[in-house]
Amino acid sequence: MYEVRIADQVLKRLKRLPPKHRRPVWERIKALQENPRPQDFRQLRGVQGYRITVGEYRYSIP
């Protein structure tokens, strides 16, 4: 199992999401502990890092 560190900024933004979107995003973040490179994990262009998509939201991972 991997350790997922979540910055305070991320938690603040997560709390501002509508409840129907917050839960799937949180579940997806927690799932990164088991599988840190899910199927839709994409490398960012021009910067270092990756992104995952949850519904209409995209999240970058350094």
Q: Residues 9-62: pLDDT tens digits?
A: 989 999 999 999 999 989 988 898 998 888 888 889 999 888 888 888 888 887
CA 14, 15, 18, 21 torsion-angle sign = positive
For the chain, the 3-state helix, strand and coil shares in percent, each to the nearest 5, are: 35, 20, 45
Contact 44, 60 (CB under 8 A): yes
Q: Quick check: pTM over 0.75?
A: no
Residue 18: its pLDDT value, please?
92
